[in-house]
């Protein structure tokens, strides 16, 4: 079992973004059922965000209500929270003032129900030295026991090499899937392997593309339809890759999502240039999908080689994000 902060976590974690940050917010009762299902299925590493929804109903508000109902679950969950943007949730701000504002707000919203085990800036502020930001977190929040540790998010290899000289980095959250394999070639996975830092793989199902349920733009969530990978000419090319994934999954008797998630986990033993722990954090809102995502499926060396040979012929069409969203900070 992988570990974070010395605590065992399930091989698959749970991403909370979709529970509170959607065009149509799901009922709170349904979200609480989803959280309980995830924990029951061994997905005890939860990844939420201060800006995953408006201040009055974001991940932390939902979590406070969940742990008020199930206080016995607080110690079972390893919780990571992304913050560090400005008060409007639009731009990274690593200044001491905003670092304190973000952390204090996150801690306050949980109302003492659960400690934040790991805090991460969603993107690195290019205008504030890492030493300044991490200095505040280390001295005022980790050493005082308010939070457990620091994780990086959406960073480049250079940032990892620099950050480990400043503070202990307990994880690196980056996009990784059959659909987005950039970190395997740009030095990020290799840097994590060098320092034995677990990779937290977000969007392991390619924002739904690898679920097998997207056949046209009409099946894409409205807020994603303007993104590069979903533009008509790109989507047509990407669906060719998705068809290959679906065929491989069908031959093994599993769903495309299960193939995608378990491929991500299996990389840690398939490749030597990645860390020993890769923890995918798929998001899902229904018990059935959560159970599907939690399934551990064995992929042999031959099957990994087949998958690798197949997907290498079908590169992703379109950038991971629109130009206005910073990446690899």
DSSP letter (8 states) at residue 142: I
**What's the CA gap between 99 and 119, in Å, rounded?**
11
Residue 274, domain CATH:
3.20.20.100
**What's the CA gap between 275 and 171, in Å, rounded?**
11
Quick one: which of 147, 132, 144, 140 has its CA closest to 94? 132
Global pTM value: 0.95
Inside any domain, residue 106: yes
Inside any domain, residue 195: yes
116 CB contacts (<8 Å, ≥6 apart)?
79, 80, 81, 106, 107, 110, 146, 147, 148
Inside any domain, residue 61: yes
Q: Which helix (H) or strand (E) holds 107?
A: helix 96-110
**What's the CA gap between 36 and 13, in Å, rounded?**
13
Overall number of domains in the chain:
1
Full pLDDT tens readout for the chain, 329 residues = 899 999 999 999 999 999 999 878 899 999 999 999 999 999 999 999 999 999 999 999 999 999 999 999 999 999 999 999 986 767 899 999 999 999 999 999 999 999 999 999 999 999 999 999 999 999 999 999 999 999 999 999 999 999 999 999 999 999 999 989 999 999 999 999 999 999 999 999 999 889 878 888 888 888 889 999 999 999 999 999 899 999 999 999 999 999 999 999 999 999 999 999 999 999 999 999 999 999 999 999 999 999 999 989 988 999 999 998 989 99
Phi, psi of 154 (to 5 degrees): 50, 60
Phi, psi of 3 (to 5 degrees): -130, 145
Inside any domain, residue 12: yes
Phi, psi of 130 (to 5 degrees): -55, -35
**What SS3 class is residue 153?**
strand
Inside any domain, residue 288: yes
* Domain carrying residue 86: 3-208+265-298
Quick one: which of 108, 86, 106 has its CA closest to 97? 86
Q: What is the DSSP string of 19-47?
A: HHSSSSPPPHHHHHHHHHHHHHTT--EEE
Is 52 a known active-site residue? yes
**What's the CA gap between 133 and 140, in Å, rounded?**
11
- The one catalytic residue in 52, 66, 141, 202 is 52
Inside any domain, residue 130: yes
Inside any domain, residue 314: no
CA–CA distances in Å: residue 135 to residues 121, 150, 252: 14, 11, 49
**What's the CA gap between 227 and 209, in Å, rounded?**
13
Inside any domain, residue 324: no
Phi, psi of 76 (to 5 degrees): -85, -20
Token look-up 């003032």 returns 97
């Amino acid at each position: 079992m992988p570990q974070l902060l010395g605590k065992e976590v399930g091989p698959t974690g749970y991403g909370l973004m979709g529970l509170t940050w959607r065009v149509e917010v799901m009922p709170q009762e349904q979200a609480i059922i989803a959280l309980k299902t995830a924990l029951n299925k061994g997905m005890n590493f939860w990844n939420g965000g201060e800006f995953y929804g408006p201040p009055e109903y974001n991940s932390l508000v939902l979590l406070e209500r969940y742990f008020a109902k199930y206080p016995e679950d607080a110690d079972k969950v390893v919780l990571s929270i992304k913050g560090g943007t400005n008060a409007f949730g639009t731009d990274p701000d690593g200044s001491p003032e905003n670092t304190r504002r973000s952390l204090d707000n996150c801690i306050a919203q949980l109302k003492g129900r659960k400690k934040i085990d790991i805090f991460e800036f969603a993107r690195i502020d290019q205008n504030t030295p890492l030493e300044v930001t991490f200095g505040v977190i280390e001295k005022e929040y980790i050493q005082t026991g308010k939070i457990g540790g620091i994780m990086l998010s959406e960073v480049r290899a250079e940032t990892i090499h620099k950050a480990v000289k400043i503070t202990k980095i307990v994880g690196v959250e980056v996009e990784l899937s059959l659909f987005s394999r950039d970190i395997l070639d740009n030095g990020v996975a290799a840097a994590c392997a060098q320092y034995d830092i677990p990779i937290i793989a977000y969007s392991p199902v390619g924002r739904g593309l690898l679920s097998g349920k997207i056949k046209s733009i009409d099946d894409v969530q409205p807020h994603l339809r303007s993104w590069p990978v979903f533009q008509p000419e790109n989507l047509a090319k990407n669906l060719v890759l998705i068809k290959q994934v679906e065929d491989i999954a069908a031959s093994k008797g599993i769903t495309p999502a299960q193939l995608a998630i378990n491929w991500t986990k299996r990389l840690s033993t398939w490749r030597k240039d990645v860390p020993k722990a890769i923890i995918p954090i798929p998001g899902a809102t229904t018990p059935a999908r959560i159970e599907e995502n939690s399934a551990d499926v064995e992929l042999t060396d031959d099957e990994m080689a087949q998958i690798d040979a197949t997907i290498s012929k079908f590169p992703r069409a379109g950038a991971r994000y629109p130009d206005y969203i910073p990446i690899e900070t």
